[in-house]
Amino acid sequence: MKLIKQFRKTIWPNSIILIIFVMIAITAIIVKQVVIHDESKSDAYSDLSLISSEVVIHFQKVKPDSWKDYVAIIHVCGPTANHLVQQLDNGINFNNLDWSELNSEEFKQVKYCRHLLDQYLFFTPGEYQFPLQESSHYTDTYGADREGGQRKHEGTDIFNQKGTLIFSVCNGTLERIGWNRLGGERVGVRGQDGNYYYYAHLDTVNEALVVGNSISKGELIGTMGNTGDAITTPDHLHFGIELPNGKWINPYSWLKVWEFNSRLNR
């Protein structure tokens, strides 16, 4: 009996402390891995956003089965890629190309870019769609000053007439619906890819939408307007993409490719 009491006084409390310490250590490792994953994903999307939409569209037109190979090479190598492009034109598989004219860093960058195009599907035809079905006007204004330089523009403004229908670019879950100061009437969708898709300055919101419900690619979001801080500007959709780590990325290149592919599918 005395030994049992001694165990409870010494070993048992120490065991509890050890278990708590181990649990804290495991939690810290998991959190660290999640942060590293999110940062890696953020870097990947940032790198993808630098790829020219014109290059992607061109090769999706002329090389629909191997456009990723051409895009990766052209994006990294530019004008010096002719010898690699000729090999692709001659039917040589991407993995069997003669890379001897590239230095090791260029070779790694081409392989990395090609991997990104496989892993992240923003440029892949049919995966996403343009948020409007009508022709529209938009330019790359990501990063432009807003409110006298107090903040940056974290998206793309797509202009058309008030009442123009706005559609979901992807499948996902409705996360936010309703008014906020900057966006006015807005809808936020958490895509199946984990990213947050933001539709702002809406004139009206589809009344069938309910927070927590799923939404499908091509489903009606609402109509174009100029609510929120856009009250003094022409009617437009502010479209933004926020990564899981809270970073907003430039959607312009993807919008151009989605618009091209959406027109093909009409």
Note the pLDDT tens digit of each residue in 239-259. 999 999 999 999 999 999 999
Predicted structure pTM score: 0.82
What's the fold here for domain 152-264?
Glucose Permease (Domain IIA) (2.70.70)
Question: Average of pLDDT values for 219-247?
Answer: 96
Count Cβ neighbours within 10 Å for each residue of 125-160 and write b for 16 or more, e otherwise.
Answer: bebbbbbbeeebebeebbeeeeeeeeeebbbbbbbb
Instruction: Compute the Cα dihedral for 200, 204, 205, 206 and give only its sign.
Output: negative
Tokens of 132: 């409007």
Q: Sorting pLDDT into bands at 50, 70 and 90, what band is 143?
A: confident
What does the pLDDT read at residue 10? Answer: 61
Q: Sorting pLDDT into bands at 50, 70 and 90, what band is 134?
A: confident
What does the pLDDT read at residue 135? Answer: 84
What does the pLDDT read at residue 14? Answer: 58
Q: How far apart are CA 42 and CA 185, in angstroms?
A: 28
Q: How far apart are CA 151 and CA 181, in angstroms?
A: 14
Phi and psi, residue 92, nearest 5°:
-75, 135
Q: Sorting pLDDT into bands at 50, 70 and 90, what band is 153?
A: confident
What does the pLDDT read at residue 40? Answer: 80
Q: Sorting pLDDT into bands at 50, 70 and 90, what band is 264?
A: confident
Higher-confidence residue of 80 and 234: namely 234
pLDDT greater than 70 at residue 148 = no
What does the pLDDT read at residue 32? Answer: 37
What does the pLDDT read at residue 31? Answer: 37
pLDDT greater than 90 at residue 121 = yes
Rg over alpha carbons for the chain, rounded to the nearest Å, is 25
Q: Sketch the domain layout of the chain as residue ranges.
A: 2-49, 53-119, 152-264
Higher-confidence residue of 199 and 32: namely 199
